[in-house]
Structure formats: structure tokens, C-alpha cells
Amino acid sequence: MRALKTKKVSGSNPLWNMYETIRFVKVLKNVIIIEISRYLPSVKLKLWLFRKFLNMTVGDKTAFAFKATPDIMYPELISIGRNCIIGFNATILCHEYLVEEYRTGTVDIGDNVLIGANATILAGVRIGNNAIVASGTVVSKDVPENMMAFGNPMQLKKRR
């Protein structure tokens, strides 16, 4: 079960009123840092930007591949362990807007985790140590350690 904080809204959908819940300047800064980092070839520089300007917790020797994208609104809710790979064009989300509410939640990724290309990690999930998330997977629930998550809808399989 995902750990999410939910806020109901009235009137139009929450995206029309998002700057009532988050500062415009914060989102603008995050978008600029994240868009620059998506195309940077230097893993070290990406990690420095994420730690320094987005307040993300990222362990040593973790690498974000080309176009990997942390959440633009709440990147500070992301915690990633040591020696992880966040694959090409993977997305880590800490928020979701629905028609009548919005939700936020932390994303905790353990040590030695591989997130495959084009995977999407939804808000409020935990991925345990030594887990693998296959390419294209939508992670909609927790992934225990030493497990492989694959597909959409997501399925789990014990790692060999």
C-alpha cells in the first residue's frame, strides 16, 4: 500500500490552483535544475545539483542516466541509497494530481537498486535493497528487497 498524504480540493481541478499549495519560484527553480541535469553527461555534477539545489538524499556511487527525471515539485521527498542506477528516461514521482484531490508521498529506494529505462516510480513507494525494476515498469506498490518488479500492471518475482 502506498503511503500518501491526500488533500481534497473544491472547484476546478488541482492543477489550476497548484500555486496555492507550492510556490511558483520553487517549481521554476526545480524545472531549470532538472532539465539541465537530464542532458548532463557528468554523473557527479548531476548528483551535486540534486543534493545542493533540490535537497534530494542520494547515496554515493548512484548514477542517473541520460534523461532520468526526479519529481519537479517535491524532489526533496526522494531518498535513494548507494550504488543505484536510475535508467534512461526513468521518472520518480512524489506527487499526483487527480480531478478532485492531490496526493504527495515519499519515494525511498534502497542500496544496489537498478531502475530500468522508461520505468515510472509512483509517489509513496519503497523499493528495497538489491531490487530490480525492469524497463517500462510502473511501480505502483512497494518492491521488497531482492525482488524483481516488471510489467504494467506491476508483478513481482524473486531474483535468482
Q: List the chain domain ranges.
A: 5-158
Angstrom distance (rounded) from CA 113 to CA 110: 6
pLDDT at res. 21: 84
pLDDT at res. 141: 97
Kindly report, residue by residue over 107-135, the tens digit of the pLDDT. 999 999 999 999 999 999 999 999 999 99
One-letter amino acid of 129 = N
Residues with catalytic function? 95
Please determine, for residue 1, whether its predicted confidence score (pLDDT) is greater than 80: no
Kindly report, residue by residue over 23-74, the tens digit of the pLDDT. 999 999 999 999 999 999 999 999 999 999 999 999 999 999 999 999 999 9
| Residue that is written with C-alpha cell 480531478 in the block | 99
Architecture of domain 5-158: 3 Solenoid (2.160)
Angstrom distance (rounded) from CA 133 to CA 113: 8
Please calculate the CA angle 74-104-18 and round it to the nearest 5 degrees. 70
pLDDT at res. 31: 98
| Residue that is written with C-alpha cell 542506477 in the block | 85
DSSP state of 102: E
* Model confidence, pTM: 0.95
Please determine, for residue 8, whether its predicted confidence score (pLDDT) is greater than 90: no
pLDDT at res. 16: 83
